[in-house]
Structure 1
Amino acid sequence: MRLRALGLLLAATVMSPLAAAAPLPKPAPLAAIAAQARIPFEQFTLANGLRVIVSTDRSVPVVATSIWYHVGSKDEPAGKTGFAHLFEHLMFYGSENVPGGIFPHLEAMGATDWNGTTWYDRTNYFETVPTPALERVLFLESDRMGHLLGAVSQQTLDRQRGVVMNEKRQGDNAPYGLVQYAEADALFPADHPYHHSTIGSMDDLGHASLEDVRGWFRSHYGPNNAVLVLAGDIDAPTARRLAQKYFGDIPRGPDPAPVPVSVPSLPAPRAETLYDQVATTRLYREWVVPGWAAPDTVPLDLFGSVLGGLASSRFDDQLVRRDKLAVGASASLESQEKVGIFRIQVDLAPGADASVVNRRIDAILADLIAKGPSQDELARAVTREVSSRLFALESVGGFSGRAVTLAQGAVFAGDPGFYARQLQAYAAATPESVRAAAARWLTRPAYALTVAPGPRPPAEQAKATQDDADKPGAAAAAAQPAASGAAPAAKPARPLPAVGDIVALTYPTIQRARLSNGIPIVFAQRGPLPLTRVVLSFDAGHAADPRAALGTDALMLNLLDQGTTTRSAGDLAADEERYGISIDSGASMDRSLITLAGLSANLAGGLDLLADVTLNPSFADLERVRVQQLTGIKAELADPSGLASRTLPGLIYGDTAYGVPPSGSGDPAAVAKLGKADLEAFKARWVRPDKATIFVVSDRPLAEVQPLLETRFGGWRAAAAPAGAKDLSRPVPAPRNRIVLLDRPGSPQSVIVAGQVLAQDGTDELLALRAANEALGGSITSRLSTDLRETRNWSYGVASGISDYVGRVPFKLVAPVQTDKTGPALKAALDDMTALLGSAPITEDEREKVVASNVRALPGALATAGDILAAMQKNDRLKRPDDYYVHLAGRYRALTAAEMQAALKGALRPGELLWLVVGDAATVRPQLEALGLPVETATPTAR
């Protein structure tokens, strides 16, 4: 690959107006780094046309399966929008030999990283399973490919139609949720395959018949229209045998006719304004460009990085940092198979004039098209691309791992190794090739959309409601046999393969050391990719915020990488990009974090930057970052889920350390007043060596990493100010069982949240309690999810959980539901909890499912370096031993249903829950008042 020349560019520097920084070491040659982004694979095709791709990696005893069907929403005819996505749902809910659906089996196998997704060009299903479960998962995938229709009944269709409708409401109800429809209408002609959204229309979903969906399946889901990828602990001969065993007897389907797709251009510029319940005005600028495998895709992607993708981009440098006209600005390429959308997105700063910002966008864009990027900008963009791909390849499966990379290349380009050709194209790009591609496509007429705060117009997503019990003929549909109507006769039953014995978890040896100033190091060596992650963890977090100045910790952390005494924010961003590293900061409720993730070959230079950010922040850009944080708070208040999340802690924790928004963004009145001295004082008390622990996961040994850390942080001394101390012992308010209603007029969905502070601390042993919660609401097959999502179809997703706080932990339930079912949904959730704690306790089957799921999931849950790093931090924070996960399987196996029941009953008190509802009060309040609980209607507030 032609990466050698770009490697030479990385030594280039940009002059800073600040005092000269110490020179950084020269970055490693990019060519050598890129050469490690390899995915070995073999492939073969069965007689029925199923293409199978195998990538062997024995480092962890798991196998990722990813099956891609070459069908998506672009293949839907008029009047049948949303069918591809609807069918994605149907394929999870039972086939002829798996009548109960696939979810219970995935959980019982310990599947991780599993899901199904639909987009314009493909539908995919993926899961990562422990190696002994591979035959079971291949059976499940083959059964829904070749033995599905006998299990698709009218009742199944109606139920999943309701779930999909609520998924649509949930997405459309979010701020900017209606933008996708405006974009599609403006950019594509009405008869264009990409004109309609993948989620479809309520009318088309409502009119989908049983024969419609069966016909859709027969036309598109044959093995000859699919690719199966197996990545991980498997070899090609084994894959061939198993693929033939489970998929070989499935007959070919019809060969789908290619859908002709043009790359349309607007005849003239088009500008529109859409009003929505949003925090700030957002400007979009969009063009339709060629698709995923087209020659101009890579240069357009690089152009987007330089314009608005890198932290050092033209937009960030000029619109955000210099002119302060925007709180955020980006440019990116969204690629589909046949077309792409090049999108500019700018969130205006308070008081900024949209017309002024639009002119600045035009000027910056025109200048970059006219002159092209610099060699240094291009080199940084390519380095960031290579680094991000290496991190993606850590995982064998999931949304972006090796299996997905191979499948996408096979489906969209006919070549599983297309990723390597893409890397070659990135390496071969020149400033002129990038400029020329942008000139070809981005000088055409653009679609300009402005989304401004204001009353949201009535939307299509609010039309339909779904309640099978009220539908004519519902009783008859429910009584139908599974293979009713036009379904084919079921073939002879296929036996379900057993899941083999799960091998013991392979967990790295955790090493501990100290710097000369006493800072502990917690270290794990993990390869094979040449990557290192470092976390500086401080015993602070949102709970350390002063009660009168909530948001101090977040503002301080947000400013760390926005300039030091020797480097501006732009200088820092450019240096990070040259090294292929990312430095970030953030916080949880109990810890404040400064992190580094990047290429091990450039670790020395990366640690120099990490030390500069940690030890020498200038806080010079306070006003700009303050505006960004205040705008973020407004965005939380504009989003129904964000509003609920901000409001609940104060209602259940009161004025205690945990009674603060979990985002940490704080109180806008307090954030507006914070000065540089406040931030420096807070940092001196909390971000200091005597409150720090350094966590590292690297392919390099501790003996190599520790001296690098010692050089940068060993001489760090604590400030003279006393260290901060959190008070987690303050009593929380006595619980009051009531409903608090926050009015959000016009919402097609209500967000129901229930909360309660438990008596237990996070450092207590909560294994039985967390296991019991999985039966209640912690999994997709839990009682709450089954009831509200699957049986009643009132919600797209329901979940309950117990947070990992150090002090007293909260129980929280979240259920977005359609507006007309808000009251009944709340009652159903309460009834489910009450029954579980009383008349219908945890069953032995539920206990076995929870135990099997957690034991078998351990290899997949701890498969990547990032997983190990998170586990190390959690063990340290909750005062667990370093080998906690090594013994976890045995502790799960020893759990009894009675212990789980006792743990839940001893912790959860449904009669003391605080219920918070965000929704349209005019519609929702009468439903809530009928429940017999006190109802308080509150006005959303910033704090």
Structure 2
Amino acid sequence: MRFTPLSLALALSLGFALPTAAADAPAAPPAGTPAAQAPAAAPTKLSSVEGITEYRLANGLRVLLAPDASKPTTTVNITYLVGSRHENYGETGMAHLLEHLVFKGTPSLPGKSIVENFAKRGMRYNGTTWYDRTNYYETFAASEDNLDWALKMEADRMVNSFIARSDLESEFSVVRNEMESGENNPTRILMQQMAASAYQWHNYGKSTIGARTDVENVKIENLQAFYRNYYQPDNATLTVTGKFDEAKTLAKIAQHFGSIPKPARKLQDTYTLDPQQDGARELTITRVGDTQIVAALYHMAPGAHPDAAAMSLLAQIMGDTPTGRLHKALVEKKKVAGVWAYPFSLKEPGYTLFVADLNKTQSREEARKIILAELENVAKQPITEAELKRAKTALLNGYEKAMSDPVAFGVALSEEIAKGDWRLFFLQRDQIEAATVADVQRVAENYLRESNRTLGQFVPTDKPQRAAIPGAPDVQKLVEGYKGKAAMAEGESFDPSPANIESRTTRLTLGNGMQVALLPKKTRGNTVNGSITLRMGDEKSLFGQSTNAELAGAMLQRGAGKLSRQELADKLEELKAKLSVSASATQVRVGFETRRDKLPELLAVIRDVLRSPTFPAAEFESLRTESITGLEEQMRQPEAVAQKAVEKHGNNYPKGDVRASMSFDEAIASYKAAKLADAKAFYSRFYGAQNGQLALVGDFDKAEAEAQLKQLFGDWKAKAAYQRVEMPFVVTKPAALTLETPDKANAAYIASLPLKLADTSPDLQALQLATRVLGGGALKNRLMDRLRQKEGISYGAGSWLSVPSLDDDASLGMYAIYAPQNLDKLKNGVAEEIAKLVKEGVTEQELSDAKSGLLQEATMGRTQDARLAGALAGQLYLKRTMAFTADAEAKLKATTLEQVNAAIKRYVDPEKLVQAWAGDFANAAKKAAEAKKAEEQKKTASAQ
């Protein structure tokens, strides 16, 4: 997640003078900005494909409108054709740095008011920077006011953003903190180093976050020039998806964006390309950690080239879990813990990455040999029709799922826009659909060559084999006249109010006691989502069974009925379905999604997954290896170490109790000692549906679903009795825990304040609002104002309130990431903000914004069918209806400032905090001492 800034180059090319003291003040808005220009000509309609219509304004802005009234949310996404590819020597990270600064505001929208409006309006928002583009988007509850504000704000900050020296200085350490956070991730560091080795000249070899020295030394004038050059209408595409009136929205876009003049400057195309690689390269990174990684990178064609579609299929065939060749050759044979592959499909020649994760006992050398043999010997083991069909099904289902989600669809188009044209999204889908075995085989043999590979070191060869990398095609000719397929059918305009949801929900109980909630409605793409919760055991019967419970749940999708793990994965793709299973010591949760016509067959599959798992021995061993490897990696990460320390502090339940918290070492030992027979025995004893809940939301026939659910689950009962394991409030002693995580550039802070509170407490809403002000929302909260905006020491900080429904062991939590050398600043900042909250309380404006944000976020949450299904299933268990939700929201609206501030004083006691700081503090102290000594020596030498 990245938030970015803006720059200022066009002012120079247009002849507008910058102030001589271009430090803290931005350049005066040039004549012809939205505030100064008369309304422009009406947008010109250019093309329409599958429900998306493209318009162009006279100033060059491209506009894509994709209306869909099935969900009452709207997404505004603006894509600028500028990324790290466009940065010059000494200016790496500039595009990303601008992405941060753009949130600092404009003369008409000062910095905080942008994020304040986001929070007040309950908007989900972000900005991201990649190689070829930068994009910003907001998703919000559909309303003309919200849409008008978002469009006006984006038009304003396109040309009027503050790119001020003071903001740049405060953001330096925030970006450094983001860099340090990334350096904690072994996979991310390895990927960066491999790209740097693979590209000699092209900017794709440089991370978008940039070089630390470039970010720290960039000149504000350069940043302003970069902004004015690239942040202009003729270099941008505005996309609006979701629920909105197309005619009114087009008029608003013309009003807000149309008055921005088309710049006189001409953007220069980038022309640097790497020569064909002359031999294999190999590198090794040595850092503290527990997980080993072996990866191979191969250059590939530009994203608009037909070869890119075939490469996507090849990556799926090779890297998928559990159907891919690498999974079968490595994971199933216990050579590695996991594998994955990803094609970086970019504007210019990109690359495909194949990655294997190993635990400490597995051989990197053996894994390396197998990976390269599988990838580079495709001529000896040709691609089969069955493999191609499976890969096509998976990728085409991905396209369909993206198109059925207006939010994801709108943002996904940014990648295609960056490659040259939004219609490439559909064109590449068609190319995937039409691809033949011969196409994929040719691509494999051309690109997966030793001479085109980066694994690390350079290896010379007498007879180099060079991959032929084609140039980017003429995209406009490629998409000219393209019509696409029929637009996806829209869903109904659904009212997400609690009252409407309640009026349309049917609840029933199956013969065995399983509770069911059904909410049929017309959805885009005829989608239907479901949620199942199975509850099991009691405090006594579950003692010592935590690991067996987790393993039993994780085994459900690794073979069921007559299907192996691979066959089950194939079946889900065939049904255009998503299925997830997660298990804890006391329950199993199942989430699923499919289409109306596929639901009966998917429910039958889920029946087999839950009632007839096969527990293959080989899969059990793979699962144990994956679990142990994951734990070994976590135990070195500051965030996980701090979280575990807080979790274990004050947890006095005996070892074996399902409420006890295991250390990393204890958890690893439990997985090493786990036996397949014990997991199977747990399943046999505890699984059944009589204490379960099931909810369906979406496009389905209610009568047919009810009949099938009765047949599939109505007779299924567990052998062991169920009684909820209570989690009563326990007084916890305060603590301050400092934990060393060597060789980690980033540090983590986690805190918890135990509270005796249930979700029926009259103080609940007051504390929810107080928590929102303290650390809720994204950029706008007191912790972020202090630690990021003011002091610039944290990329991310916040708070949360966890309140149970049937117990009273609640907690107020806080978190932050920061550099180890900033520990004292972090401690001081958090302490002062909490003390200020207790002493002064919140303001009327903060209360109003918090209410607005929470209520609009809750409304948007109910537009997401998967979340709504989970909520309805939870209500069944709690014996509640949507009336409880409506009542809670009414109480939140009615909560007064006096009630919030009184609740803060009653519950928030800084002296009762359990706090943990994890990081490489010893090394930070050593460096500080060395710096101090050097400074003293310098002063002594100067005096002499």
For the residues of structure 1 that align with 2:308 and 2:832, how far apart are their CA atoms? 53
Report the Cα offset of residue 119 of structure 1.
0.6
SS of alignment partner, residue 91 of structure 1: helix
Give the counterpart letter for 2:419 in structure 1: F
- Supply the RMSD in Å over aligned alpha carbons: 2.9
Counterpart in 2 of 1:27? none
Asked if 1:209 is matched to 2:219, the reply is yes
- TM-superposed CA distance for 1:263, in Å, is 5.8
Gaps of 5+ in 2: 1-47, 458-494, 929-944
Q: What corresponds to 1:458 in structure 2? A: none
Is 1:131 paired with 2:143?
yes
1:52 Cα deviation from its structure 2 partner: 1.1
Which amino acid letter does the alignment assign opposite residue 419 of structure 1? F
Cα deviation 1:224-259 (Å, max 9, x = unaligned): 100111112223321221112111121223332111
Tell me which amino acid in the other structure corresponds to 1:651.
H
The answer to whether the aligner puts 1:402 opposite 2:409 as a matched pair is yes
Q: Provide, for residues 60-102 of structure 1, a one-character-per-residue CA deviation record: whole Å limited to 9, x for no partner.
A: 3332100000000110001000000000111011112101341
Instruction: Please state how far the C-alpha of 1:620 moved relative to its aligned partner.
Output: 2.9
The match for 2:639 among 638, 641, 644 is 641
Map 1:228-243 to 2 at 5 A.
228-243=238-253
- 1:897-921 CA-to-partner distances (Å, cap 9, x unmatched) read 2222233333332101111111124
Quick one: distance in 1 between partners of 2:542 and 2:50? 50
Q: CA distance change for structure 1 residues 423 and 229 in 2, over 3 Å: closer, same or farther?
A: same
Whole-angstrom CA distance in 1 between matches of 2:539 and 2:222:
54
d(CA) in 2 for partners of 1:174 and 1:878?
40
Aligned pairs for 1:362-373 within 5 A:
362-373=372-383
SS of the equivalent of 1:608 reads: helix
1:775 matched to 2:773? The reply is yes
> 2:702 maps to which residue?
702
Which residue pairs with 2:157 in the alignment?
A: 144
Q: Give the Cα separation in 2 of the matches to 1:223 and 1:853.
A: 31
**1:918 aligned partner:** 918
Quote the Cα distance in structure 2 between the aligned partners of 1:614 and 1:844.
Answer: 51
| 2:772 is the counterpart of 1:760 | no
- 8 Å CA contact 1:382–1:427 kept in 2: the answer is yes
> Could you say if the C-alpha distance between residues 406 and 630 of structure 1 is closer, same or farther in structure 2, counting changes exceeding 3 Å?
closer
Indicate if the aligned counterparts of 1:588 and 1:662 stay in contact, CA closer than 8 A. Answer: no
> Do the aligned partners of 1:795 and 1:817 also contact (CA within 8 Å) in 2?
yes
Q: 1:524 Cα deviation (Å)?
A: 2.0
Task: Give per-residue Cα distances to partners, 1:657-695, cap 9 Å, x unaligned.
Answer: 686569999712222222234323433454321221112
- Of 574-583 and 115-124, deviating more is 574-583
The aligned counterpart of 1:871 is 871
The answer to whether the Cα contact below 8 Å between 2:746 and 2:818 also exists between their aligned partners in 1 is: yes
- Structure-to-structure mapping, 1:495-514, within 5 angstroms: 508=501, 509-514=504-509
Return closer, same or farther for 1:677/1:658 CA change in 2, 3 Å cut-off: closer
Mean CA deviation greater in 528-537 or 195-204? 528-537
Pick one of 605, 613, 618 that aligns with 1:617: 613
Q: Counterparts of 1:384 and 1:234 in 2: how far apart (Å)?
A: 31
Larger deviation, residues 657-666 vs 806-815: 657-666
State the one-letter code of the partner of 2:844: E
- State whether structure 2 residue 75 is matched by structure 1 residue 64: yes
The secondary structure found in structure 2 opposite 1:678 is helix
Give the alignment partner of residue 346 of structure 1, picking from 356, 361, 365.
Answer: 356
Task: Return the offset for 1:507.
Answer: 5.0
Q: Label 1:667 to 1:444 Cα distance change in 2 as closer, same or farther (>3 A).
A: closer
Specify whether residues 712 and 878 from structure 1 end up closer, same or farther in structure 2 by C-alpha distance, changes over 3 A only: closer
Match of 1:108 among 102, 111, 120: 120
**Which residue of structure 1 aligns with residue 292 of structure 2?**
281
Helix, strand or coil at the partner of 2:559: coil
State the SS of the aligned residue for 1:117: strand
Instruction: Report matched runs for 1:588-667 at 5 Å.
Output: 591-621=587-617, 622-655=620-653, 667=667
Question: Counterpart of 2:467?
Answer: none
Query: Within the alignment, does 1:893 sit opposite 2:893 as a pair?
Result: yes
| Corresponding residue SS for 1:125 | strand
Deviation track 1:318-341 (CA, whole Å, cap 9, x = no partner) reads: 3112x1111101222122222322
User: Corresponding residue for 1:882?
Assistant: 882
Change (3 A) 1:110 1:42: same
CA deviations on 1:158-205 (whole Å, 9 max, x unpaired) are 11222111111111123334223311221101x312121100111111
What are the within-5 Å matches in structure 2 for residues 121-520 of structure 1? 121-129=132-140, 130-132=142-144, 133-148=146-161, 151-189=162-200, 191-253=201-263, 254-262=265-273, 264-321=275-332, 323-397=333-407, 401-414=408-421, 416-449=422-455, 508=501, 509-520=504-515
1:799 alignment partner AA: G
Offset, 1:367: 4.7
Shift of 1:208: 1.3
CA 1:257 to 1:804, structure 2 compared with 1: closer, same or farther past 3 Å?
farther
CA–CA distance in structure 1, aligned partners of residues 320 and 245 of structure 2: 38
How far, CA to CA, are the matches of 2:566 and 2:307 in structure 1? 28
Match runs of 1:470-869 below 5 Å: 508=501, 509-526=504-521, 527-539=523-535, 546=542, 548=544, 550-564=546-560, 566-587=562-583, 591-621=587-617, 622-655=620-653, 667-719=667-719, 721-723=720-722, 725-729=724-728, 732=730, 734-762=731-759, 764=761, 766-779=764-777, 780-803=779-802, 805-806=804-805, 807=807, 808-838=809-839, 840-869=840-869
Q: Tell me by how many angstroms 1:722 deviates.
A: 3.1
- 1:39 Cα deviation (Å)? 4.5
**1:226, 1:864 → 2: CA distance?**
29
Aligned CA distance change for structure 1 residues 859 and 637 (closer, same or farther; 3 Å) = same
Once the 2 structures are TM-superposed, how far is the Cα of residue 267 of structure 1 from its aligned partner?
Answer: 1.2
1:685-716 CA-to-partner distances (Å, cap 9, x unmatched) read 54321221112223113222222323322232
Q: Quote the Cα distance in structure 1 between the aligned partners of 2:282 and 2:415.
A: 34
The aligned amino acid for 2:182 is: G
Q: What letter matches 1:314 in structure 2?
A: R
Deviation, structure 1 residue 270: 1.3
| Alpha-carbon distance, 1:506 to partner | 8.3
Kindly indicate whether the alpha-carbon contact (under 8 Å) linking 2:101 and 2:168 is maintained by their aligned counterparts in 1.
yes
For 1:178, what is the secondary structure of its paired residue? helix
> TM-score, normalized by length of structure 2?
0.83
1:12 corresponds to: none
Tell me if structure 2 keeps the 8 A contact 1:67–1:126. Answer: yes
Deviation at 1:887, TM superposition (A): 5.2
Q: After superposing the two structures, state which structure 1 stretch, 244-253 or 804-813, moved more.
A: 804-813
Quick check: 763-772 or 655-664, which moved more? 655-664
Aligned-partner SS, 1:723: coil
Question: How far apart in 2 are the matches of 1:645 and 1:817?
Answer: 15
Q: Is the 8 A contact 2:532 2:695 kept in 1?
A: yes
Distance in 2, Cα, partners of 1:450 & 1:437? 23
Question: 1:885 and 1:245, CA in 2 relative to 1: closer, same or farther beyond 3 A?
Answer: farther
Query: What is the alpha-carbon distance in structure 2 between the residues aligned to residue 762 and residue 616 of structure 1?
Result: 37
Distance of 2:210 and 2:713 partners within structure 1: 55
CA distance in 2, matches of 1:200, 1:409: 23
Distance 1:117 1:260, change over 3 A: same
Q: What percent of counterpart residues are identical? A: 24
The Cα shift of 1:379 comes to 1.9
Cα deviation, 1:766-796, whole Å, max 9, x if unaligned, reads 2321221010111221111110111011110
- C-alpha change, 1:369 and 1:841, in structure 2 (3 Å) is farther
> Retained in 1: the 8 A contact 2:642–2:748?
yes
